Chain A
Amino acid sequence: MHKSPLHDIHIEQGAKLIDFAGWHMPVHYRGINEEHVHTRTKCSIFDVSHMGRIRIQGTGAQPFLQHICTRDLDDTQVGQNKYSHICNEQGGVIDDVIVGRYKKHWYVVCNASNRESVLEWMNRHCESHAVKIVDETFETAMLAIQGPKAIGFVEDAFGLDIKSLKRYWALTGSYFGMQYTIARSGYTGEDGVEAIVPASAVGLLVPLLLGGADREDNVCMLAGLAARDTLRLEAGMPLYGHELSLEWDSLTAGQGWCVDLSKDFIGAAALREIKAGQPTQKLVGLELDGKRIAREGYPILKDSRPAGKITSGTMSPTLGKSIAMGFVETEFSEPGTELEIDLGRKTNPARVVPLPFYKRPKSN
C-alpha cells in the first residue's frame, strides 16, 4: 500500500484512513458534512497526492499528447492547463486528465486508480514520437486548496498574485528553495488552486499552512476524500469509475465539450460515428423526493420499466436534497422528466434536473 508523504500528519489530525486505489488516504478528519460545509464557506486543504503525476519531455511531447488526448492541445500556451479525456479506439474513456504545458515539458495529472493503465497506454503509443515519459507521482505531493477563501489564503501564504491567474492556468516558482506548480483549478465547484510540490517538502508546508495550534481563526482546515466526493457531485463533475469508464464514451458521458472531432486522435473515428448516430443514453442529474439516497447501480425506472442506472448519489449538504447522477435513455433525459429510483424494497420518485446541482455565487 502506498502512503502519502502526509501520512503522519493525517494520523496526527485524527483522520480515518482507507485504502483508495492502492493508497492509504484520509476519508475524513472531523466529519464529512462539516468538512463539506467548511469548503463551501471557508477553505480546505485536500491531500490529493495519490493522483498520478506524469512529466512528458522531448520534442515530440506536443504531437504525442495531441494524438492520445480528445482535447485540441495545439493552441495550448505555456502555463495553460486543459481538462481532457484519453480514449481507446472505441471512444471508451481510459481516464480523464489535466494536461498542462510548461516551458520545457508537458505534464499530465491522472486518476490514482488509472495511473498504471495511463502509463501503459502512453508507453504503447509513444513509439513514433520523440518523448520521455517520467512518472513523478512518488517524488512529488499534490494539495488542493479549495473554497471561497482559498485564493486570498494562498496569496497570503506564498506572497503570490493568484487573482489575476485565469482558471486552469498555472504558475511555477520556488518558495524557500521548494519548487512548486500552482494551478487555479479544482474538483469541488469552488474557486481554488491545486499545487504540486516536492514530496520531501509537503510535510513542512502543510503545518505551516494550517498555522499550528496558535492559529485560531481556522480559516483553512484539512478535508478528506469523502467530502471531495460530495463536493464534486454537487458541482456535477464526473468521477472516473462512476460517470466515466471504458463502458461509456466521452459524448454519452456528457463531456463532449472536451472532445474536438476536427482533429485526429485515438478514438476520434468511433466518437464521430457515435455523434452522427445520436447516443442512446445520456448522463443526467436527478433529484429525489424525500431523504433516501440513490446509490451506484440502483436501477432508474420510467413507469416501472427500466430506463437507466445510477452512477453516484448523496444527500447534498448544501441543498439539503437527495441528488444523484446516472445514465438514462435519451428520450427520458430532458429536465423535468419524472422517473423512479428502485431502492430495492420500494421505489422513490425522482426527476431529471439540469447539471450542476450547485454553482458557486459569482464573486467580484
Chain B
Amino acid sequence: MSVPNDRKYADSHEWFKLEGDVVTIGITQFAADELTDITYVDLPTVGGKVDAGKELGEIESVKATSELYTVVAGEVVEINEELGDAPELVNDDPFSRGWMVKLKTSDVSPFDKLMDAATYEKHCATQT
C-alpha cells in the first residue's frame, strides 16, 4: 500500500493535507477498501463552520454508512462536487481525485496529534 508522505492521518482513516491555511480532507485507501464500493458522499454546505472533532459528512457504501470527521475547526471553502455523480472516485483515487472537503482553518495545532505516513501504515497493519 502506498500512503502519501505529504499529509497527516487520523486513526479513523481520514487524511489531512495542509496548504497555507487550507486543509484538504479525504479518506485513505485502507478506509475506502474496507467500506467497499462507495455509492454516495453527503458533504457539508460551502460557507458553513465546523468544530474540531466534529462530523463533516457521511459516506454510504454497499457495506455500511460511516461518518467523515475533521480534527481541525474551520470554514468549509470547497467541496468535491465531482463526487455527486462519481462517488466511485473515492474508491479509485482516494488520495487525489477522491478528496472530499477543503476547510480554511486558523488553528493547525491538532495536526501535532496526527500520524505521519509511516506510523499510519503501521496502524493499518494492526487492523487487518
Residues of A within 8 A of B (CB): 16, 27-28, 31-33, 226, 230, 291-293, 295, 314-315
Contacts and interface: CB of A to CB of B under 8 A. Distances in A.
A27 B37 CA distance: 12
Given A32-B37, A226-B36, A291-B39, A315 B60 contact: yes
B107 interface: no
B40 interface: yes
Contacts of A27: 36
Contact of B39 (A16, A226, A315): A315
Given A16-B33, A32-B37, A315-B60, A293 B65 contact: yes
A315 B60 CA distance: 9
Interface in B29-43: 33, 36-37, 39-40, 42
B91 to A, nearest CB: 7
Contacts of B42: 292
A295 B39 CA distance: 14
A339 B111 CA distance: 44
- The 8 A-B pairs at the shortest CB distance, nearest first, are namely A315-B39, A291-B40, A32-B37, A33-B37, A32-B62, A293-B60, A32-B36, A31-B37
23 contacts: A16-B33, A27-B36, A28-B36, A31-B37, A31-B91, A32-B36, A32-B62, A33-B37, A33-B88, A226-B62, A230-B62, A291-B39, A291-B60, A292-B40, A292-B42, A292-B65, A293-B39, A293-B40, A293-B60, A295-B65, A315-B39, A315-B40, A315-B62
Which of B60, B62, B63, B88 counts the most A-chain CB atoms under 10 A from its CB? B62
Interface in B68-88: 88
Contacts of B88: 31, 33
A26 to B, nearest CB: 12
B83 to A, nearest CB: 11
A27 B39 CA distance: 17
A292 B60 contact: yes
A33 to B, nearest CB: 5
Contacts of B63: 226
